[in-house]
Each structure stands twice: as structure tokens, then as C-alpha cells.
Amino acid sequence: MEVFHTREGMQEKILRLKDRNMTVGFVPTMGALHQGHLALIECSLKQDDATVVSIFVNPTQFNRRDDYEEYPRDLTSDLQELEDRGVRIAFTPTEKEMYPEADNRVFDFGHLDQVMEGYYRPGHFNGVAKIVSKLFDVVMPHRAYFGEKDFQQLAVIRELNRQMGYNIRIVGCPIVRESDGLAMSSRNARLTNEQRKEAALISRELFDARNNMDQLSVGEVKERVIGRLNKNPHIDVEYFEIVDEHTFKPISRWQESNAQRGCIAAWIGGVRLIDNVKFSY
């Protein structure tokens, strides 16, 4: 496997691939790889002539310095996992390489970055846009793969792609879950054994709410999910919204949208987890 640490070296490799008329798939990650990442990689390996995986913990998308510092990192293990999976190209730049000088760009995604994650993590999506645009400029992929667990982020990246005129096909891949339903996340590794067991309640309540939506109003579903989860001493719900998945505007009646999605963020100890479930069938 070829591992590139500089933008220049990575770009030279990409140009050589494109000179051979090869399609390039790209999976950007922050490392601590799990089955969710590997599912994205597998999609690219099947569809593209060459797959590039980046590993970079991006400081500009963290609201809290301690969250950034505590984010799990194991580059050696990650690279071995990539090689074992058949990935032949990895991009692992340093912070100085990606941010040789301050990036003061401010993006405007309208309503998309003002609600839910945008509201509770101000500046988060601006930081995501900074690094994704930098990575797109380097890798210049034909396709880029993102998980639907970060559903709002996926929408922001699609809008970034449109605004910047990249003409990259943004591929959203389904959430990969543990056997008990917990959405796979690198942050799960920070949970204690007891917290990890309780964390499965989040997805359980989301799916239960979806299964009973015909009997309850939107308000009752929201009250039920938040109330049940907050009864657990390990869980503190930050938000639970039912939104139109195209506009991300909250709905108050089921009839307002035929593309409803329940989105949640909750704290378990010092670990913040997000998840979402499509309510409309």
C-alpha cells in the first residue's frame, strides 16, 4: 500500500491514475476505523478503479479542545486494516500539511447548518467544509463516500459540492449497526462497558417510535423518546427532532412531509453520540 503524507505527493499519484483513465473513489475518515468505515471502503472498491482513504483528525470541526484531544487515534492499526481490506492508497497528512496557514473561510449553507448539529455545535459544519474542500482539492475524486449516520453532514457536503462546482458524485451509504442496534462510531470506543450496554437504548427507542408512529402524533413521539431515554441515569438527550430529510425543517404533523427522519444527539457520560432513523417508508 502506498501511503502519502503530503498534498503534492497525493496529487501527483491522482494525476497518474487519471492519465490512465482510472476512476477514483474517495473515503475521508478521521481514523479509528470500524465496520461503518469499512462498508464505505467496500462500496468504493466495488465501483472505482482506485480507492483513496484519508486519515486525518480535523481540528477545525471540534467545538471543544478536549473532545479533539480525546478522539481515538491508532494510525498503525488503521493502515494495517486498510491494507488487509485491499486498499492500495492512503493519505495521512499532518495538521501543518493541511493547514499551513489559518483558514478563515466562512461557508453559508443556509438552514442546513443552523439546526440540530449546526445549532448545538456552532462552527462544526464550517470546519467540516474547510477540510472536505481541502481534501477534494487534493484527491479530485470521481466519487466520495459518506455514511448516513452523519445525515445532516451528508446534506452539507452535497451542498458544498454544489456550491464549489466540484461535480463529484456524493454517495451516501446506510448506517452500519452493532448487533444490538447501536450505530457504529469511533466514539463508541470511549464508552465504559456499562455505558456501552446502555447506549443501545438510543436506537431501540428510535425504532420503537417509528414502529408506533401511526398511533402517536409527532409531539407525542418526541416526548416519548426524550422522556424514556432521560429516565436512564446514563443518558442525557441533547436534542431529538423529526424533520423533513430534504429541508431539515422540523415537522409538527406527519402530513407535512413524506420524507420524515428522526435525528438525535445524546450524551452518555462524556461521550456524545448521534443517530437517525428514517420514519417514512
Residues designated as active site:
37
For residue 258, the tally of other CB atoms under 10 A from its CB is: 11
Give the C-alpha separation, 240 to 222, whole Å.
7
For residue 252, the tally of other CB atoms under 10 A from its CB is: 11
The residue with cell 427532532 is 241
Enumerate residues 6+ apart whose C-beta is below 8 A from 99: 59, 60
Task: Give the phi and the psi of residue 77 in degrees, each rounded to 5.
Answer: -65, -40
C-alpha cell of 9? 505527493
**Calculated CA dihedral for residues 30, 33, 38, 44, nearest 10 degrees:** 30
